[in-house]
Structure 1
Amino acid sequence: MTAPATAPAPVPEPGAAPSRRPRTGPRWPVRLAAAVLAALGLAVLLVPPLVQLDQQLVDLRSAGLPPSFEHPLGTDQVGRDVLLRSVYGLRVSFLVGLVAALVSMVIGGLVGLAAGSLGGVPDRLIMRVVDGFTSVPHLLFGIFIVAMFSPSPVAVVVSVGVTHWTTAARIVRSEVLSLRSRPFVEAAISGGAGRLRVVRRHLAPHLAPHLLLATVLMVPHAIWHETALSFLGLGLPAHLASLGNMINDGQRSLLAGDWWSSLVPGLFILVPTLAVAVLGQHWRDRLNPRLRSELSL
């Protein structure tokens, strides 16, 4: 008895919309990460204008209170509300991290674009400089830069921007080298287009999504960098509500049993970082489905 012949796969009609790619993996982590970031974003945007926080206010009568209805996440060793200061600290750390990530992406994008566009000896020289910066530990180099300034947001932005541009430079250079061999770029060069026109009309539109993704993924890293510097007393001023300063202040209360003073700001760092990592991975998979298929083999 012969097996029934299988029907051939239907051929799509010309001009028909392409079928959707099959989904890979569950969708709930992406939705949960988006919901968490949306909730934290609303808190950062709405709470500071509605609740004015005096950075210098001290209430020793409420010092070290555990979580309660009046203070949902307790108070620190000088009576300040931990939840309110954590929201303010996340706002400050996010703004500093965002500006620092943009600075590093601009520097790295220009360097990578120059290396990939020029090629030859200039490319090799530029990449040797990039290798030199990469060989130096980021945190130690950042401490050296911040130590030359007084604690301020500008010092942290300069520190992160100067030490983290190498990643963007490598990403942009590799994309430029890949785009230079594409037929439309070769056709533009053969047609007499100048180097600036090729960069502006053909390279920049293709590089923008990759740079934007790199910037988004750099923001949590910049926040961690700012937190480490503030924890060491070299980042933001000590009186300013930042997550690093709060963890530094909270470690002194751990022996007294005030665990919430350090745990809460630590969670405000960890949770957004994981959420951004999940969304960034999802974005990268959609941006480069070929890489996703290769990683799944």
Structure 2
Amino acid sequence: MTTELAQVKVRRKGVWAAAITLGVLALAVLVVPPIVQLDQQLVDLRSAGLAPSLAHPLGTDEMGRDVLLRSLYGLRVSFMVGLVAALVSMVIGGLIGLAAGSLGGLPDRLLMRVVDGFSALPHLLLGIFIVAMFAPSPYAVIVSVGVTHWTTAARIVRSEVLSLRERPFVEAAVSGGASRARVVRRHLLPHLAPHLLLATVLMVPHAIWHETALSFLGLGLPPHLASLGNMINDGQRSLLSGDWWSSFAPGLFILVPTLAVSVLTQHWRDRLNPRTRSELSL
């Protein structure tokens, strides 16, 4: 009993630490860029490659730009792109899963075969193929992530719909003459909303990693924009001269918030329904 209580306390401390970390980062991302305007094209070679100091807490890159400020700008862009891309993928997957679970029969089988086909494709390679058809921009990354990451949402929604269809209140509504649209609107969607919201939050870190990978490969955001992937790519050249902070800082800004989101969503998922642990693993 004492061991279980200790584990609960440790988990609570981890949740609070993750919440505080994410809150501080969110506040910094929302407040700092509007106050400190960053000229994306500015080059100051006199300040190039400076080590971390009070003036530049995370040093400067090979162009003399402050790494901390650029990392905050990059994290802001990554969060915005990741959130919108996650919403797009949830809308696509949610509609397909809802249609499959509600219609059943042949439409269900056909739609799930489409889901299986998309799941069999490598997400990153398919994403590279999609962004290669557009000029580097946030919109191309959003389309890439939205089109390649909707399959898990479709499976989650379909599974929940099939479970809800067997509930007494749904059967009573159908027996009472309620139309399919009314059943979906009044009975299915309110129960699906928490699961979809959780799946959307879980998708955001994956969307950020996807955007970072594409930008690192030079296919995501334009090279002059502050992006975590672009910064890591640029920092590779600085590593040869010993400027480790140029790559370390953006990597840290990717790792810390995604771990914080993972801890919080794990706690949320367990409180929502422990049985969905495997279903919501993205």
Alignment TM-score, normalising by the size of structure 1: 0.90
CA shift, 1:291, in A, is 5.9
Q: Distance in 1 between matches of 2:51 and 2:200?
A: 38
Name the counterpart of 1:233: 218
Partner AA of 2:33 in structure 1: P
Q: Secondary structure of 2:28's match?
A: helix
Query: Identity over the aligned pairs, expressed in percent?
Result: 83
Partner AA of 2:137 in structure 1: S
Name the counterpart of 1:66: 51
Name the counterpart of 2:99: 114
Name the counterpart of 1:186: 171
Name the counterpart of 1:81: 66
Q: 1:174 to 1:23 in 2, by over 3 A?
A: farther
Q: Bigger CA drift: 111-120 or 24-33?
A: 24-33
Partner AA of 1:284 in structure 2: R
Name the counterpart of 1:6: none
Superposition RMSD in Å:
1.2
Q: Deviations over 1:121-151 (max 9, x none)?
A: 1100000000000000000000000000000
Larger radius of gyration: 1
Q: Distance in 2 between matches of 1:136 and 1:183?
A: 39
Q: Deviations over 1:178-201 (max 9, x none)?
A: 000000000000000000000000
Q: Deviations over 1:198-222 (max 9, x none)?
A: 0000000000000000000000000
Partner AA of 1:64 in structure 2: G
Q: Distance in 2 between matches of 1:94 and 1:70?
A: 26
Q: Distance in 1 between matches of 2:266 and 2:132?
A: 35
Name the counterpart of 1:47: 32
Name the counterpart of 1:37: 22
CA shift, 1:237, in A, is 0.3
Name the counterpart of 1:202: 187
Name the counterpart of 1:252: 237
CA shift, 1:49, in A, is 1.0
Name the counterpart of 1:170: 155
Partner AA of 1:92 in structure 2: V
Q: Secondary structure of 1:266's match?
A: helix
Q: Does 1:133 align with 2:118?
A: yes
Q: Distance in 1 between matches of 2:160 and 2:144?
A: 26
Q: Secondary structure of 1:116's match?
A: helix
CA shift, 1:65, in A, is 0.3
Q: Does 1:272 align with 2:257?
A: yes
Q: Distance in 2 between matches of 1:120 and 1:24?
A: 46
| Structure 1: tracts of 5 or more residues without a match | 1-21, 293-297
Name the counterpart of 1:105: 90
Q: Secondary structure of 1:196's match?
A: helix
Q: Distance in 2 between matches of 1:289 and 1:156?
A: 33
Q: Distance in 1 between matches of 2:37 and 2:276?
A: 47
Q: Distance in 2 between matches of 1:23 and 1:145?
A: 48
Q: Distance in 2 between matches of 1:204 and 1:23?
A: 38
Q: 1:149 to 1:63 in 2, by over 3 A?
A: same
Q: Distance in 2 between matches of 1:237 and 1:99?
A: 18
Q: 1:285 to 1:222 in 2, by over 3 A?
A: same
